[in-house]
Amino acid sequence: MKAHMHTSILAGAAVLGAAALAVPQPVAAQSVDFAGKRIEWIIPYGTGGGSNRWARFYVPWLQKALPGNPVVAVKNMPGASSTKGTNFFARRGSKDGLSILGTSGSTQFPFLLGDRRVKYDYADWEVILATPVGGVVYVNSKLGVKSAADMKKLQKVALKFGSQGPTSLDLVPLLAFEILGLNVKPVFGMKGRGPSRLAFERGEVRIDYQTTPAFLKRVMPLVKKGEAVPIMTWGTLDDNGKLVRDPTFPDLPHVGEVYKMMHGKAPRGPAWTAWQAFMAAGFPAQKMIFVKKGTPKHIVAAWRAAAAKAIALPGFEAAKNKALGKYDQAVGKRAQTLKKIATSVPPAAKKWVLDWLKRRYNKVP
């Protein structure tokens, strides 16, 4: 409907230079047709990062799968650790399926940690699709570490880690390093994972992590040149919520396995519970597409059907594996389960992390 108004207003403006008022038409009974419409997809991140790439990757597939093949226009609205664009959607997004939101782990974290800037609630939105992702930790090859089996060697070295800040997604690596007993000191002020990787290439930091797509594209060349050595992943959750190996990197152990290799027993305790909760919030459903609750049921259903259709289109699988890694894109019920995991952490875990942030980094989100 919005697009209808655009055209009529445009014509009116061209002739009169004044507003021509378009009368909203009632939504047709059951069938949904977005033909000629423009869907506005708010991405609360800038054009440089992974969320933007993810959205731009999905645009053509969604356009093909949505009824009527509407134009899907990505709108980048970065700011205030992604709370700005997300707040905007919460306040101004329409409930007609023409306005959707794409969030990432760094949108989930401020929400879970009770950041003051958050004016949105995930309970107000219906999830359409969820994209899992993993994370890979790698070290400088000059450290002499060949794999996770040599981790004990790493414990003795003082390492630096480039980070955006302890309340960002970097909470997951920072806490993991602490649990493993590594001597890692973060250097903040990095403007993203890209600059951290550049600091790694310069030799300024000797341990770093990247999400799966960035690792495959940007770090694998360094591994092949013998400059970087991958040692572990965050792992991923199986259907029972148990931490298992990342399917994209079946040869790399996850953090829990590495702990066991180093200490001879499986990790446990409040720190480990908190880490698992926040890892689950940050990675297995890192990026999600939402429409608002209160959107007519048949429109939500049309969106869900379109998402399912998009990921089944011929050519999607190969393109996805290349761009986003070998993770099954979640739609329907599975997306809803993942949303639940990603947007709720047990109160005890939350409290532990808040205390830890205060104690370790003097940081109150």
Partner 1 sequence: MLESIVLALGEITSGTHLFYLFGGVVMGLMVGIFPGLGGIVGLSLLLPFLYGMDPTSALAMLIGLVAIIPTSDTFTSVLMGIPGSSASQATVLDGFPLAKKGEAARALGAAFSASLYGGVVGAIVLTFFIVVARPIILLFTSAELFMLTILGLSMVGVLAGNCLPKGLLACGMGLMFGALGGAPATGEFRMSFDIPYLGDGLPLVVIGLAMFAVPEIIDLLRGGGAISRSQSLGKGWIQGLKDMWINKWLCTRCAGIGCMIGALPGLGGSVVDWIAYGHVKQTVKDSSQFGKGDIRGVLAPESANNAKEGGGLIPTLLFAIPGSGSMAVFLGGMELIGLEPGPSMVDGKLNLTYIIIWSLALANVIGAGLCLLISKPVARLTTIKYVYLAPFMIMVICFAAFQATRDLGDLLVLFAVGMLGILFKRFGWPRPAFLIGFVLAGNSETYLYQAVQFYDWGFLLRPGVIIIFVLTALSMWFGARNAPKEEADLGGTAAKTMNMRPQAMFAGLVVLMFAFGLYDGVQHSFLGAVYPVGICVVMLPLAIYLFYVTAANKTDNPANYDYEVEGDHVGRDGVPRLGYYLAWLGGFIAAVILIGFWLAITGFFLIFLRARSDASWLRILILTTAGVGFITALSWIMVLDFPGGLLQHYVKLPWPLS
Binding site for partner 1 (CB under 8 A): 2, 5-6, 9-10, 13-14, 16-19, 21-22, 24, 38, 40, 46-48, 52-53, 56, 59-60, 71, 73-80, 83-84, 117, 160, 165, 167, 185, 187-189, 194-195, 198-199, 201-205, 217-218, 221-222, 225, 362-363
Q: Is the Cβ of residue 40 or residue 246 nearer to partner 1 in the bound state?
A: 40
Q: Which is nearer to partner 1, 184 or 258 (CB)?
A: 184
Q: CB 301 → partner 1: shortest distance, Å?
A: 25
Q: How far is the CB of 209 from partner 1 (least distance, A)?
A: 16
Please report which helix (H) or strand (E) contains residue 214, including its range.
helix 212-214
Nearest by Cα to 280 from 155, 136, 105, 145: 105
Q: Is 211 strand, coil or helix?
A: strand
DSSP codes, 243-308 = EE--TT-TTS-BHHHHHHHHHSS---SHHHHHHHHHHHHHSTT-EEEEEETTS-HHHHHHHHHHHH
Nearer to partner 1, 186 or 256 (CB): 186
Nearer to partner 1, 160 or 309 (CB): 160
Of 96 and 257, the one with the shorter C-beta distance to partner 1 is 96
Compute the least distance from the CB of residue 148 to partner 1, in Å. Answer: 26
Beta carbon nearer to partner 1, 18 or 123 = 18
What minimum distance in Å lies between the beta carbon of 157 and partner 1?
A: 15
**Closest CB 101 distance from partner 1, rounded Å:** 15
Shortest distance (Å) from residue 183 CB to partner 1: 15
- Angstrom distance (rounded) from CA 302 to CA 285: 21
Residue 25 · residue 1 · CB < 8 Å? yes
